[in-house]
Amino acid sequence: MKGVLALVLSLAVLAAASRSVLQEQAVELALADFHSRGHVHWLFKEKSVEGVVENVQSAGTFIRMHLNLVPTTCRKQQERKQHCSVRPNGKKRNCLFCVKFDNTSPSEVLDKYMHCSMELLTKVLSPRDERECQGVEQAGEGVYLPGKFAFLHSQLD
């Protein structure tokens, strides 16, 4: 039994090690965004990351991923200051996270979108999630979206 547990842990470490720096940054950003929500009271840990898409574009790098999060025994205010074990009967969250990082300053986020649920993830995005992620992917590409930039653009004329 201990051997199986060690194998599972080593596979999780290998999966995390194969991620790019921006993908790791996206996971941390997603966790921070999730914990900033008022209805979240417990600290959540990343259980797994699936379906990662990374696309380098002229304005920035777009990343889309599915995160599986599990609640821990620590309150979110503790922010990983101590070892927090997974709550045995805690409600897991499945999250879609889309983010676009600026190419000139990779720590700068051009846009992001996150949707979490307690349902099992499907590999097919809902129409709303697809639209939101496409909007994130187009951020900074010179596309003027009505309502977002139209007022600002008209003031410059």
Residue by residue, what is the 3-state secondary structure of 50-91?
EEEEEEECCCEEEEEEEEEEEEEEEEHHHCCCCCCCECCCCC
For residue 100, tell me if it sits in a domain: yes
| Domain housing 28 | 21-142
Starting at the edge strand found earlier in the chain, the sheet holding 93-102 runs 42-56, 60-75, 93-102, 109-117
CB 56 within 8 A of CB 21: no
pLDDT of residue 7: 39
For residue 6, tell me if it sits in a domain: no
**What's the N-to-C CA distance of the chain in angstroms?**
70
For residue 97, tell me if it sits in a domain: yes
| Residues 54, 13, 76, 40, CA torsion sign | positive
pLDDT of residue 31: 92
Residues 6+ apart with CB under 8 A from 61: 22, 54, 55, 100, 101, 103, 106
CATH of the domain at 107: 3.10.450.10
How does pLDDT run along the chain (157 residues), one tens digit per residue? 444 334 333 444 444 457 789 899 999 999 999 989 888 888 999 999 999 999 998 889 999 999 999 999 888 876 656 688 898 888 889 999 999 999 888 789 999 999 988 776 556 678 898 899 999 998 877 654 444 444 444 444 3
For residue 103, tell me if it sits in a domain: yes
pLDDT of residue 121: 56
**Beta pairing partners, 48:** 68
pLDDT of residue 61: 92
For residue 4, tell me if it sits in a domain: no
pTM higher than 0.95 for the full model?
no
Q: What's the residue count for the chain?
A: 157
Domain count, the chain: 1
pLDDT of residue 38: 85
Burial track 7-23 (b if 16+ CB lie within 10 A, e otherwise): eeeeeeeeeeeebeebb
For residue 10, tell me if it sits in a domain: no
Task: State which amino acid sits at residue 28.
Answer: E
